[in-house]
A and B are shown apart, each in its own frame.
Chain A
Amino acid sequence: NLPMAMRFRNLKETSKQSVGVYHSHIHGRGLFCLRDIESGEMVIEYAGEVIRASLTDKREKYYDSKNIGCYMFKIDDHLVVDATMKGNAARFINHSCEPNCYSRVVDILGKKHILIFALRRIMQGEELTYDYKFPFEDIKIPCTCGSRRCRKYLN
């Protein structure tokens, strides 16, 4: 029930103790709980380099040319967080069609942050996931979340 700014203030320290990166059955590595997390709890910020949206095309092409996996999260129509070369553990959160977390763009003291919150109580050892909400596209990316209500494709 505390204001967002207060909840955010301690997040960088607390998130290091509450989550960690491990091997995932969904894809490569994932983010896992190191302790029980309550429903609605602010878990971690999706941190990285804040860039203008007009820079994403060129960056994506560069990463593709070097076979570097691209980790970008759109804040709004103008700004994007690029966690490919600079970021935190949140970049490893995998997609699930039945997620246990959700993302929100929150304005704190005039700056926008992408924050991950728990949708429900998450037990120690569970992998954290959220719905990537990729736009519909003709070329499909298969989903490997393995959930009962899996939509088969990320997009």
Chain B
Amino acid sequence: WSAFAPDFKELDENVEYEERESEFDLSDE
């Protein structure tokens, strides 16, 4: 099923998201 969505990544376990410095900003510099 994950092959149908090329941007999707199948995981075996949780991954902790690493926030960018501009994570909350309206436009990403």
List A residues at the B interface (Cβ < 8 Å): 12, 21, 29, 45, 47-52, 54-55, 58, 81-82, 85-89, 92, 111, 113
CA of A133 to CA of B15, assembled, Å: 25
- Which A residue's beta carbon lies closest to that of B10? A88
B13 CB to nearest A CB, Å: 6
CA of A113 to CA of B14, assembled, Å: 8
Most buried by B among A51, A87, A111: A87
Contact (Cβ within 8 A) A85 B15: no
A55 contacts across to B, CB distance below 8 A = 17, 19, 23-24
- Which B residue's beta carbon lies closest to that of A66? B7
CA of A85 to CA of B12, assembled, Å: 14
CA of A49 to CA of B8, assembled, Å: 12
B8 contacts across to A, CB distance below 8 A = 85-87
Contact (Cβ within 8 A) B17 A51: yes
A48 contacts across to B, CB distance below 8 A = 11, 14-15
9 nearest A-B residue pairs (beta carbon): A21-B1, A86-B9, A49-B17, A12-B12, A51-B17, A50-B16, A47-B11, A47-B14, A50-B14
Can you list 26 A-B pairs with a CB-CB distance of less than 8 A? A12-B12, A21-B1, A29-B1, A45-B14, A47-B11, A47-B13, A47-B14, A48-B11, A48-B14, A48-B15, A49-B17, A50-B14, A50-B15, A50-B16, A51-B17, A55-B19, A58-B24, A85-B7, A85-B8, A85-B9, A86-B8, A86-B9, A86-B15, A92-B1, A111-B14, A113-B14
A21 CB to nearest B CB, Å: 4
